[in-house]
């Protein structure tokens, strides 16, 4: 019913996605955050670096008058979210039960059954949210995704992925293990937002008061 605060997404230290031929899950989670509207998404990646360059130009007096770029304008992140993976099974071959059945049936029917296979792909992921002000882990949720295909050597398609390619995460759309990981992250994200639903949405006011140093009484 309301935004839960400002959020920055950081990729985990271990590059598990590279071995699977996928893009960083940071971009994937940003799509969830933007589409859900549960947080105000802050950029702490390349976009922020480019913004910093503009600020350096402003501080050096290079920008036109009235540009209104300076100190005290950057929004603070209330929370940092880190997407990680616990386990994965990207088995694409599966077990050829058709060959087993074919040995009993034989003839033409056995040849058809010989092409039948079952493949199961699973992924378990975890999403962690840390409170920037208190360093508390505000929430942690695991998500599970699974996909089982039964077919005659045919890859299953997937619909409803509009806009993912434009976000730079097309491999999550175009690979089966990528699709399973997306399902797992959706599961984790949904649970996590439910966990945080009772927050006031004003993390700054909820945090303890800052400590100050007085130079004179």
* 118: pLDDT strictly greater than 60: no
DSSP 95: B
194 vs 1, more confident: 194
Rounded mean pLDDT of the chain? 77
Q: What does the pLDDT average to over 145-173? A: 56
* Alpha-carbon separation of residue 30 from 3, 10, 13, 110, 193 (angstroms): 15, 10, 17, 49, 14
% of the chain beyond a pLDDT of 70 = 77
pLDDT at 41: 93
* 68: pLDDT strictly greater than 50: yes
pLDDT at 40: 92
Q: How far is CA 4 from the centre of its chain?
A: 17
Q: What does the pLDDT average to over 117-139? A: 84
pLDDT at 109: 47
pLDDT at 179: 85
pLDDT at 165: 53
Q: How confident is the model at residue 202 (pLDDT cuts 50, 70, 90)?
A: confident
- The first and second tokens of residue 66, run together, are 């009235």
pLDDT at 160: 47
Q: How confident is the model at residue 88 (pLDDT cuts 50, 70, 90)?
A: confident
Q: What does the pLDDT average to over 77-101? A: 69
The residue among 167, 135, 139, 160 whose CA lies nearest residue 26 is 167
Which residues, including other chains, have CB under 8 Å from residue 10's CB and lie 6 or more apart?
26, 44, 80, 81, 82
Q: How confident is the model at residue 86 (pLDDT cuts 50, 70, 90)?
A: confident
* 209: pLDDT strictly greater than 50: yes
pLDDT at 180: 87
The conformational region for residue 57 under phi > 0 = left, psi -120 to 50 = alpha, else beta, is alpha
pLDDT at 46: 77
């Amino acid at each position: 019913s309301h935004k839960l605060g400002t959020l920055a997404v950081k990729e985990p230290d271990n590059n598990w996605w590279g071995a699977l031929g996928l893009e960083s899950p940071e971009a994937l989670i940003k799509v969830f955050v933007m589409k859900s509207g549960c947080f105000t998404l802050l950029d702490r990646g390349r976009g922020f670096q480019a913004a910093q360059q503009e600020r350096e130009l402003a501080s050096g007096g290079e920008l036109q008058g009235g540009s209104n770029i300076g100190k005290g304008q950057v929004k603070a992140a209330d929370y940092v979210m880190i997407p990680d993976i616990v386990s994965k099974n990207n088995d694409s071959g599966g077990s050829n039960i058709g060959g087993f059945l074919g040995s009993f049936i034989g003839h033409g029917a056995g040849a058809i059954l010989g092409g039948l296979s079952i493949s199961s792909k699973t992924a378990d992921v975890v999403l962690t949210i840390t409170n920037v002000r208190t360093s508390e882990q505000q929430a942690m949720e695991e998500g599970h995704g699974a996909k089982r295909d039964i077919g005659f050597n045919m890859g299953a398609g997937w619909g409803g992925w509009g806009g993912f390619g434009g976000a730079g995460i097309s491999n999550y759309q175009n690979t089966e293990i990528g699709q399973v990981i997306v399902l797992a992250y959706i599961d984790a994200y949904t649970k996590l937002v439910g966990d945080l639903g009772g927050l006031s949405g004003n993390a700054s006011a909820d945090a303890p008061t800052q400590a100050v140093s007085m130079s004179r009484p």
